[in-house]
Structure 1
């Protein structure tokens, strides 16, 4: 009877251990599974702006390379980026592309309309 209880307890502890290992592995692998993440803070898709000079600021996670309209931009160690851009009058498409170290790619397109103020 005592051996049977000990055996069941060992099985339960083993199941708990493997559940914790699998859960922790999944938690750590989420960055690999999700790929790069882009968060834009200053402008949003569909915005109407009155000035031709805009600042694009945001934060990225899990990124090795970042580009704005196919031009490489730099991020600090916290993943924050800040770039200035001059818009053409009318409809503008801004493309932000992030690539992680495993070549997973995330692309975020912002469609912005620049409408100059009439004087």
Structure 2
């Protein structure tokens, strides 16, 4: 008894399998931002020690609906870039960037700063 599949049936199953695999990979590719959640990237590598009172936090936020700097809302441009001034207090200051996506997932980036003026009076 011959149990082999006819050639046409084997080709149909192979093409169907490739098609289904392509659809699954396409759906996963399109859902990648939904899967990874909100992201915050600081583009300028600011050091911890500063002798100027004002520093600028520059970066980009992706897949977000809201963005805060120390619980104060800040806004991005159309590409997700932001540039926000931060006034340092004497001594140690912590800047906390927090982003939330439309599903309620939160990402937080914390950056410490130390303000040490050049001369003390």
Could you state the TM-score of these two structures normalised by the residue count of structure 1? 0.91
Determine if contact 1:89/1:114 at 8 Å carries over to the other structure: yes
Corresponding residue pairs, total: 117
**Structure 1: 5+ residue stretches without partners:** none
1:69 equivalenced with 2:70 (yes/no)? yes
- What is the match of residue 13 of structure 1? 15
Q: Matched residue of 1:20: which SS?
A: helix
Instruction: Name the larger-Rg structure.
Output: 2
- What is the match of residue 49 of structure 1? 50
Determine if contact 1:43/1:56 at 8 Å carries over to the other structure: no
Task: Please give the residue correspondences for 1:77-92 in structure 2 after superposition, counting only pairs within 5 Å.
Answer: 77-92=78-93
Stretches of 4+ aligned residues off by more than 2 angstroms: none
**Deviation of residue 83 (structure 1)?**
0.8
**Deviation of residue 104 (structure 1)?**
1.0
What value does the CA root-mean-square deviation take over the aligned residues?
1.6
- Structure-1 separation of matches of 2:115 and 2:60: 24
**Deviation of residue 43 (structure 1)?**
4.0
Question: Which of 22, 28, 34 does residue 36 from structure 2 map onto?
Answer: 34
**Structure 2: 5+ residue stretches without partners:** none
- Structure-2 separation of matches of 1:112 and 1:42: 14
**Deviation of residue 116 (structure 1)?**
1.2
